[in-house]
Structure formats: C-alpha cells, structure tokens
A and B are shown apart, each in its own frame.
Chain A
C-alpha cells in the first residue's frame, strides 16, 4: 500500500474546462440513462414538494372549508397513491443513477488498466506501484461520486430549490421574498465556513498522512526498533503526531460545530420572521391560514438543498483532483510499433543477433552501454559476464524492446527489431530470471499462462523434459496446486524450473538466462543444469552469469564492463590461473 502524502492534495483546484469536458465525454454514452434519471428525480421532487400543498388543500378546502370527510379521505388516498408511485420512481432513479455511475467508472477503469498494459517500462520505473494502483482503484472510485453525487444531485437540488421558489412566489409573493431575504445570509455563512474549514481540513489530512506513514514505517522497520530497544522513543514520537492529529481534528470539529447549528438557527429565524409578517396578513384577511401553514413547511425544505450545495463543493474538489491524476496517466505515451508492423513469421526466426554500435542510457547521457557491438550467430550459446551494474541486464531489456536504444541498432536475422511488432518479438524471447514471478494461480496456469490448452499428458511430457515434474508430482494437487504469493510456497530453484517448463512450452527462438543461477546451492544448480541444456537446444542462448560452473556451459564468453564489451578468448587460461 501507498501511504505517501500526495502533493496534489494540497494544490488549489483550478476549474479546467478541458478536464470537465473529458469527464463528460465518459458520461456521454450514458446520457440517455442520466437524462432519464434526471427526469425521474424531477418527478419525485415534484411529488415531495406536493405534500405540504396537499395539506394546505386539506385544511383550507376540507377541514376548515366546505369539503366532506369522505372527500378528505379520497384526497388523502389519491395523494398516497401518487406519492407511493413517486417512491417507486425514486427507487428506480436511485438504481439507475448509481448503476450508471458504476458503469462509467468501469469504463474509465478498463481504459486505465488497458493503458497501463501498454505503457513503457520507463514509466513503470518512475512511478511506484502503489501510486499506479491508487489510480485504478481509489481515484476511479472517487470519480463515481462526481457522476452520481454531483452531476445529478446538484441538478436535483437546484430543481428542488427552483421548485420551492416558484411555488412560494405563486402562493404569496411578499412572503416568498421575505423568505428569500435569508439566502444572502446563508451564502455568507457558508463562505465564512469554507474559509475556516479548508485550512483546518487540509491540516487534518496532513497530520493523518504523517501519522500513517510513520506507522507504516514502524511496521516495516519493527526489527530494527526492537533490536535497538527503541519501542519507547518511537511511541513517544508517534504519540506526539497522534496528539497533533487530534488537535487538528478538534479544530475542524469546532468550525463545523458552529456552522451547522448556525444554519439551523437561521432557519428558525426565517420561520419566526415569516410567522410575524404572515400572521399580520392572516389577521388582515389578506392571507388564508393554509398558505401560511404551507410556507412553514416549505421553509424547512428550502434550507436543506442550500446546505447540501455547499457540501457538494468539497466532493467536486476531490473528484476533480482524482480526475486530473487519472487523465495524466491516460495521456502518457504508449509503447509504439512501427506504422506498418512487419509481422514476425513464427518458427522461421533463426536467431541471428547483431548489436550494432549501441548506445543506451536510462537517464540522459548517463550511459549504461557505450558504442557496444556484438554478434551472436543463430543457435550459438554465449555467456556474458562482468561486474554488477555493468549493463548486462540492460542488453536483455533492449533486446526485448522494454527500452528504446538511444543510438545504433539491434538486428534480428538482419532486420532492425524496431520494425517488428513488439509483442511478436517478445514472444520469440524466453527469459529465466533470478526472481521468477508467479501469478496467484495454479501450476498449470503459470506454465500455460492461459494462452495454450495442454492436456495433462502433454503437460507431463514437457514438465519431465524441463525437470520440473519431480517436484510437481509431490505437490498436493499436482498441476492444479495454487502457487504464488497466496499459494504453496516454492523455492527459488523450483520457481526457475517452472519458468524453464514455460519456455519449453512456448518454444521461443532465443533463450536468455539472466543471473538465474547466481545464488543456488550446488545441489539445486546441478539439478537445473540438465534442464538448462534442454532449454538451450536448438536456440540462440544468452547466459548472463558469474559462476564458473555456468560459464563453462557456454561456447563463447563475453566480458562487459562500464558499457563496453570484449570477448574472453583466454577463458581456459584465466581459469587455470585462479589460485587461492
């Protein structure tokens, strides 16, 4: 998880019309549903508004008027019927709206994830996994609020407000205007609240971020804390942050504790004012009592959307911040293929590799490979050795087109690798690394990657050839045993055997062993040797290795240091000179 405080949280929002346009574009396919939700909202709001009006009719026309008891009953029943229908519409509207929100977010999520798959590794290197994860999960979720909470609820509130205003004006103009005179007061109070609440809230979030990152650090470093007997000191530090967080929370609470009751007070003041002037009109016979009564009810309804609208602002703010981060990710440049991708003919690759004066740097001018030239003949078995950080793994990365070459070119069977479709190219290269990544899936799925459908018999044949069958056979459910982070724990050697099995299944033209044997014990390495030999059969093979036992398997050994490469023609002689 990612507990780092995000600088974006503190940046003031700028209402970027382009951002809003892009967000609305995602809602566009659902405009029918959203429009319908709005219609339903209006219908339910209208029915909600009708309740005090019905009571007014009941009082003026029936209870105090000429109507009969039976008429009153019919009126109530009719109202009940319509109102129930309204509730049904409300339920419909809720499901429609929330469902649409989820559908939109789903679409955004799929785009985000798809985009993530096609981003170059340089981007993945720059951004911690936690941040990318947050984009797809939480940020997308926050957008949901925008579509459901903001778009429609705001419209509903505005509609409600407009409805009340129209009804009030129609019922009695001067009483209505009297009520509206409170609007500036409410807006002013809201403004004051926002000015006070924003810094308080920001401080609260800042302290929370500190609190969480401290706690996360503490959990990660618990062994050091305990080994150095620092439990008390660390707790004191934590407790101080916790106290600051509490203080900030209290400050925010106080601001809110003044604001909300004040809004309630304004409502009561509005009510009293209304009653004072209204009662005068009633006494003068200018106003039927029922109208005054209806006004009392409408004042209640009038203040709620006013309060809500101020709260919606903070939702909008959070959503826009998330949207900005999401679109930033979506705007990142994808990995590119040449315009007219030359499709690599499968099984016809011989595996003749040429690195022609290759220059490469992860960061500008910080050269990892300098003018490197290397030819590997089809079917050759070469080893590349050299100190850590010499750029050995970079060679593999370039060959896979995980990163672009800065200068020079890499050719496969005479064709620049940039001219191939990158996926087809990568499928021609099988790599075993020191740390083999396994999916949280079964052994079978980790071998076939769900791309191929192998029968149990076929699987067994390949696994035997790769030397992995011996341990797979011992697993509780054999090929169907779950492995990976949450499954059965496999040793490093076993994981590598699985990776080798995978390579035999997919049968690539080029085989790469990337320091895979560096830390294996003698016994496991000996087990692996046989499988390695099998994997190298009939393919161009590149071994990146330190170990003498691994280097001995190569026909040619290259030495790479500080971005330059040379062949070790005198390997046997060097070996003989090794004296301890």
Chain B
C-alpha cells in the first residue's frame, strides 16, 4: 500500500536510527505529558485531604516542573531528529531526481514542460518531506497518546467510565476519514481551477498584441472573470467541507465531556471515584481530542506524500540515455573517414509527419559543410541526430565504416562541439561560460577561442573583462554577442567535430566572414554549419539544401548556382538583394 516509498529505502536504511531516536523522543513527550493530568489529580486529592501535607504538595509541583523541563528537551530533540532527517531526505531526493533528470534524453524534455518538472522538484518533494517528517510525529502521537490515555483512564476510573467516554471516538475516526477524502478531492478541484486561471492569464499576456489589435479587452475580461469566479466557487466548495473539520472534532470532544460530567460526576457524588480521579479523567478526555485530529492530518499528509512519490517515481523510471556502451576504446577523433548519412528517416514522437526523410549524403572530413533551407526544413533536427540527441527510426549515420552508435555516448560527445540556435547562456561569468566544457581551462585557452569567435575585443571592454557576470543577474548580451560567446564555448575543447546551428544570424556580415575564415583555418576539424548567408555559402566546401526534410540539392556554391530556377538560386537571390540594398 505504501510501495511508492520503496525508492527511499537506501536513505531509510542509512538514517533509520535517527528516525527511531526521534520517535523515542516523541514517545517520551507523550508519556510525560500523560503524567501531568495524573499529577494534577494527585495534587487535587492531596489538597482536598485534611490535614494537608504541604511537603507532598511541594513534591508534586517540583515533579510537574521537572517533567515539563524534560518534555521541553525531548521536544527539542524530536524536532532535530525527525524534522531534521526529513530535511536531509528532501536534500537526498532532490539530488537523486536532479541527477536523473540530467541523464534523460531530449525526447523526454519535449514531452515535459519546465514548469511541470519544476513542480516535481519543488512541490512534490515538499509533500514527500512532510509525509516523512511531521506526519511521523503526528502518527506516533495519535497511536500512542490514544493508547496511553486509554490506559491511564482505565487505571484511574476503571473500564466502565472509560468505555463510555470513548464511545464517540470511533465515530470521530470514521467521519474524519470521510471528511479527509472529501477535502482532498475538493482541494484537487481548487488546484485544477487555479491552473486554468493561471493559463488564462498566461495566454492573455503572451497574446496581448492580438488582444489590443482586435480590441478584445472586454471579452478577455469576461473570460478571465469566468475563470476567476470558478476558482472562487471551487474554494467555497472546499470551505464547506474544510469548515466541518474543527466543529466535528469539538463536537465529539463535547460528547465525551458530557459523558464524563454526567456519569463521572455522579460517580464522585456516590463516592465511587475521588474528585481527583474525576479531574484527572477529564484531563485525559481533553488530551484525546488532539490525537484524533492528528489522525486526520496524518491521513491527509500521507495521501499527498504518496501521490507525490508516485509522480517522482514515474520520472525516476524514465529511461536514461546510456552514456557508456558501444566500444569504449574507439575514439571518434582518431577514426578515419567521412561522416556518412544513409537513408536517414526521423519523426518526432507524436508528430504527424517525418521531420527528415530518406536522407543520404556525405559530410567530408576536416572540411566545412553548410546546411541550408527554410524554417522547418529539418536543419536543426539533422544536427540533433548528429549529436545523438535522438535516434533515427530508419537509416544510420556512419563515421568511416563505424555506425555512430558503436561509439560510447560519452566518447562521441567529448569529440564534438555544439552551438545551439538560441545561443543559450548560463548565469555566471564570461569565462565560466566559455570554459563550460572544461572548467579548468587556462585564461590563455579561453582568450584564444574568444579571439577565434571575434569576441575578444568586446570582452575587453566589459567592466570586469572575462569575469563580468552574464545571464539573469549579469549584464545583458546582444544576440550577436550571445552567439559568439556560444561559439567560443563550442570551440574551447578543440573538438574534432563542430556542429553550429545558425551561428551568424545576429552577427554582421564582416564579422561573420572573419569568423568563417577563422573556422576554415582550424586543422582536422569537421564543421557542419547551418546558415542562410551568401558569404558563408561561398566559403563552404559543400552545401546541403534541405526542403521539408528531404535533400533538395547538394554541391558547391558554383555547382548549385548552375542549376537554373532551383530553390537554392532563389535563396541566393533574396540574400543578395538584402546585401545589395544595404549598400544602395
């Protein structure tokens, strides 16, 4: 029933002693707490007895203070042991999940949004922590406090009155269980409605231009009001169940109280129990109300923890991309031969059509190959396959005579450099971003690739040069600077293969030409470069034109121009027009 928590077994094996110590402390608190009403009872009896024995009264008081001190200390300890261990568990689980997420292939990230994964890393882990933290305390409380309270009640006033006073408890347990489920269901409803509300606002903000252009403000307000009103109603619905919680607990406690007063009071009058017993007994009944309420919360916490653990487990069961495997001894950099695509076909999961279809061509070793074509023609996807982010459904990529899969993933990735289309930059210094692949790179190595990427002079003008922070809390780089920084990052390990996804889209013509010349000067480096630039076409050894995932044309710039009226010619004319008109 709690199989979901098996994932945590290694942690629990290592740290169960801390939990046990914590539980022992909770038990100690509970036990000591039980003694207080009893002492109050004894105190009462001693006080009402004549003659009064003052020494005895004083003794009881000292005892009460001593017990209170011991309780305070135990309370401190269980917080440390149980809550502290739960925090350790939180750290453990977060590390576990993060480490796993790191190894999941890009296909996984296409299926899951950032917000969703962040929810697992935050909310779900919190829920698990609560279920193995405070709810353990509540559970121990509920079980043992009840047992002990009952035990003391029996020893104080016997079975008869105890049973009578306990009659409401099973009723309480049953109604709390039902109420707990109802609250949980309604809570889910509230959360769902909150999700819709959030989506509505998000959609509105991202479409605000359309909203303004079509003067949709009023319909949008109506749409939002409806979503917000639904959220409000869902909350009302929740409150109606939630609000029953306390009154119900108090009602059952009231029943017990009435039984104690009516029956117990009569027993005192008839001299069957002492007034002290009566006082003590009342104290126990009052004490019982708490574990009963706690039981409700425990069920709630555990249910949420279980649901969250299940979601986390589902993530943990996602298959990792195997980093090793293949023939580990085989180093792609030393293998001879060209990169060769053979009848490569690839389709994204759930997509209606192929992204790449039946692609066969050769990427010459040590040369620059340019990929070109319209948006959605499959250029980036082809790079993803070369990077082994995805596996093609049909066909293969060869390096010399070796299929790409015969290299271990880590061996292949350590021989490549990659520049993504969006020029993603991490929060940190310029130097840290450039040396991303090899954090222990020297300043000279960093400066050298910055020069190759034509970024060195600009870096020198930044406030702290290479130590200038960029990203969220640093300076904002222009699109072109981001691209060149990404390029330097890709160049730093001096990889044998460079895969560059549109590295010049925000870089001016002259700089792009300079960089391409720098790239052409790299020895033994195979470069695949996505571009639309005429200049780059001229500097490439080979050009591949893709159209809707198929090979439309391949050859050198001169060869391709020779074919009249092709897609390539049109592309070049548009490019040329833009360059020409710039000078006009």
Interface residues of A (CB under 8 A from B): 1, 3-4, 51, 54-55, 58-59, 62-64, 69, 72-73, 75-77, 79-80, 83-84, 87-88, 90-91, 94-95, 98-99, 102-103, 106, 109-110, 113-114, 116-118, 121, 124, 129, 132-133, 136-137, 211-213, 215-231, 233-235, 238-239, 242-243, 245-246, 249-250, 253-254, 256-258, 260-262, 264-265, 268-269, 271-272, 275-276, 279, 282-283, 289, 293, 296, 385-387, 400, 402, 423-424, 426-427, 429, 431, 437, 439-440, 449-451, 484-485, 489, 491-492, 506, 519-522, 546-549, 559, 561, 568, 574-575, 577-578, 580
User: In the complex, which residue of chain B has the Cβ closest to the Cβ of A519?
Assistant: B375
Which of A110, A229, A260, A275 is within 8 Å of B224, CB to CB? A110
- B258 and A272 contact, CB distance less than 8 A: no
Which of B40, B94, B261 is within 8 Å of A242, CB to CB? B94
Q: How far is the CB of A90 from chain B (nearest CB, A)?
A: 5
- B427 and A219 contact, CB distance less than 8 A: no
- B75 and A223 contact, CB distance less than 8 A: no
- B118 and A1 contact, CB distance less than 8 A: yes
Residues of chain B within 8 A of A268, CB atoms compared: 36, 64-65, 67-68, 71
Which of B205, B275, B416 is within 8 Å of A124, CB to CB? B205
CA distance A191 to B128 in the complex (A): 32
User: In the complex, which residue of chain A has the Cβ closest to the Cβ of B557?
Assistant: A580
Whether A426 touches B84, Cβ cut-off 8 Å, given contacts A76-B258, A219-B101, is no
CA distance A500 to B216 in the complex (A): 18
User: In the complex, which residue of chain B has the Cβ closest to the Cβ of A506?
Assistant: B214
**Is B330's CB within 8 Å of the partner chain A?**
no
Q: List 22 A-B contacts (CB under 8 A).
A: A55-B261, A63-B275, A69-B266, A72-B266, A106-B232, A113-B228, A213-B427, A223-B106, A223-B389, A226-B413, A227-B416, A239-B95, A261-B79, A268-B65, A402-B209, A489-B352, A519-B376, A521-B376, A522-B567, A578-B576, A578-B580, A580-B573
CA distance A257 to B103 in the complex (A): 39
Residues of chain A within 8 A of B361, CB atoms compared: none
Which of B75, B262, B547 is within 8 Å of A264, CB to CB? B75
**Stretch of B13-21, B237-245, B336-344 lying at the A interface:** B237-245
Residues of chain A within 8 A of B242, CB atoms compared: 94
**Is B159's CB within 8 Å of the partner chain A?**
no
- B106 and A226 contact, CB distance less than 8 A: yes
CA distance A277 to B557 in the complex (A): 104
- A133 and B76 contact, CB distance less than 8 A: no
Whether A282 touches B247, Cβ cut-off 8 Å, given contacts A235-B102, A257-B76, is no
Whether A227 touches B581, Cβ cut-off 8 Å, given contacts A217-B426, A242-B95, A580-B576, is no
The 10 closest A-B pairs by CB, nearest first: A268-B68, A257-B79, A423-B215, A261-B75, A94-B243, A261-B72, A519-B375, A87-B247, A227-B418, A117-B217
Which of B65, B98, B235, B584 is within 8 Å of A238, CB to CB? B98
- B91 and A245 contact, CB distance less than 8 A: yes
- B68 and A269 contact, CB distance less than 8 A: yes
Residues of chain A within 8 A of B410, CB atoms compared: 229
CA distance A103 to B240 in the complex (A): 15
- 8 A-B pairs besides A3-B118, A264-B71, A272-B65 with CB distance below 8 A are A95-B240, A136-B201, A242-B98, A260-B79, A264-B68, A275-B40, A293-B44, A574-B581
- B548 and A260 contact, CB distance less than 8 A: no
- B197 and A137 contact, CB distance less than 8 A: yes
Among B199, B375, B547, chain A packs the most CB atoms within 10 A around the CB of B375
Which of B64, B87, B561 is within 8 Å of A246, CB to CB? B87
**Stretch of B109-117, B178-186, B364-372, B445-453 lying at the A interface:** B109-117
Residues of chain A within 8 A of B71, CB atoms compared: 261, 264-265, 268
- A84 and B121 contact, CB distance less than 8 A: no
Interface residues of B (CB under 8 A from A): 36, 40, 43-44, 47-48, 52, 57-58, 61, 64-65, 67-69, 71-73, 75-76, 79-80, 83-84, 87-88, 90-91, 94-95, 98-99, 101-106, 109, 114-115, 117-118, 121-122, 194, 197-199, 201-217, 219-221, 224-225, 228-229, 231-232, 235-236, 239-240, 242-244, 246-247, 250-251, 254-255, 257-258, 261-262, 265-266, 268-269, 275, 278-279, 282, 321, 351-352, 373-377, 387, 389, 410, 413-414, 416, 418, 420, 424, 426-427, 436-437, 439, 471-472, 489, 493, 547-548, 561, 567, 569-570, 572-574, 576-578, 580-582, 584
- A109 and B228 contact, CB distance less than 8 A: yes
Residues of chain A within 8 A of B229, CB atoms compared: 106
Residues of chain A within 8 A of B118, CB atoms compared: 1, 3, 212, 215-216, 219
Q: How far is the CB of B87 from chain A (nearest CB, A)?
A: 5
CA distance A236 to B71 in the complex (A): 41
Which of A261, A264, A283 is within 8 Å of B47, CB to CB? A283
Which of A242, A249, A426, A580 is within 8 Å of B212, CB to CB? A426
Whether A99 touches B265, Cβ cut-off 8 Å, given contacts A235-B98, A402-B209, is no
Residues of chain B within 8 A of A250, CB atoms compared: 84, 87
Residues of chain A within 8 A of B375, CB atoms compared: 492, 519-520
- B208 and A124 contact, CB distance less than 8 A: yes
Which of A114, A440, A546 is within 8 Å of B577, CB to CB? A546
Which of B95, B206, B239, B275 is within 8 Å of A94, CB to CB? B239
- A59 and B275 contact, CB distance less than 8 A: yes
Whether A219 touches B580, Cβ cut-off 8 Å, given contacts A132-B205, A243-B91, is no
Whether A84 touches B235, Cβ cut-off 8 Å, given contacts A58-B261, A230-B436, A289-B47, is no
Residues of chain B within 8 A of A269, CB atoms compared: 65, 68
CA distance A489 to B377 in the complex (A): 16
Interface of A is mostly: helix
User: In the complex, which residue of chain B has the Cβ closest to the Cβ of A488?
Assistant: B352
Whether A275 touches B52, Cβ cut-off 8 Å, given contacts A253-B83, A261-B71, is no
CA distance A220 to B62 in the complex (A): 62
Residues of chain A within 8 A of B244, CB atoms compared: 91
User: In the complex, which residue of chain A has the Cβ closest to the Cβ of B63?
Assistant: A272
CA distance A29 to B238 in the complex (A): 24
Q: How far is the CB of A369 from chain B (nearest CB, A)?
A: 18
Among A124, A218, A224, chain B packs the most CB atoms within 10 A around the CB of A224
- B47 and A133 contact, CB distance less than 8 A: no
CA distance A276 to B246 in the complex (A): 34
Whether A272 touches B424, Cβ cut-off 8 Å, given contacts A213-B472, A387-B578, A431-B213, is no
- A117 and B275 contact, CB distance less than 8 A: no
- B221 and A261 contact, CB distance less than 8 A: no
Q: How far is the CB of B164 from chain A (nearest CB, A)?
A: 13
Residues of chain A within 8 A of B197, CB atoms compared: 137
User: In the complex, which residue of chain A has the Cβ closest to the Cβ of B373?
Assistant: A521
Q: How far is the CB of A429 from chain B (nearest CB, A)?
A: 7
- A548 and B205 contact, CB distance less than 8 A: no
Q: How far is the CB of A98 from chain B (nearest CB, A)?
A: 5
Residues of chain A within 8 A of B254, CB atoms compared: 80, 83-84, 87
CA distance A519 to B372 in the complex (A): 12
- B574 and A548 contact, CB distance less than 8 A: yes
Q: How far is the CB of B574 from chain A (nearest CB, A)?
A: 6
- B208 and A121 contact, CB distance less than 8 A: yes
User: In the complex, which residue of chain B has the Cβ closest to the Cβ of A128?
Assistant: B205
Residues of chain B within 8 A of A246, CB atoms compared: 87-88, 90-91
CA distance A451 to B106 in the complex (A): 41
CA distance A98 to B237 in the complex (A): 11
Which of A102, A242, A256 is within 8 Å of B236, CB to CB? A102
User: In the complex, which residue of chain A has the Cβ closest to the Cβ of B94?
Assistant: A242
Q: How far is the CB of A147 from chain B (nearest CB, A)?
A: 13
User: In the complex, which residue of chain A has the Cβ closest to the Cβ of B410?
Assistant: A229
Residues of chain B within 8 A of A79, CB atoms compared: 258, 261
User: In the complex, which residue of chain A has the Cβ closest to the Cβ of B102?
Assistant: A231
- A574 and B584 contact, CB distance less than 8 A: yes
Residues of chain B within 8 A of A136, CB atoms compared: 201
Which of A83, A219, A272, A387 is within 8 Å of B61, CB to CB? A272
- A217 and B577 contact, CB distance less than 8 A: no
CA distance A440 to B203 in the complex (A): 8
- A260 and B75 contact, CB distance less than 8 A: yes
Which of A99, A224, A561 is within 8 Å of B424, CB to CB? A224
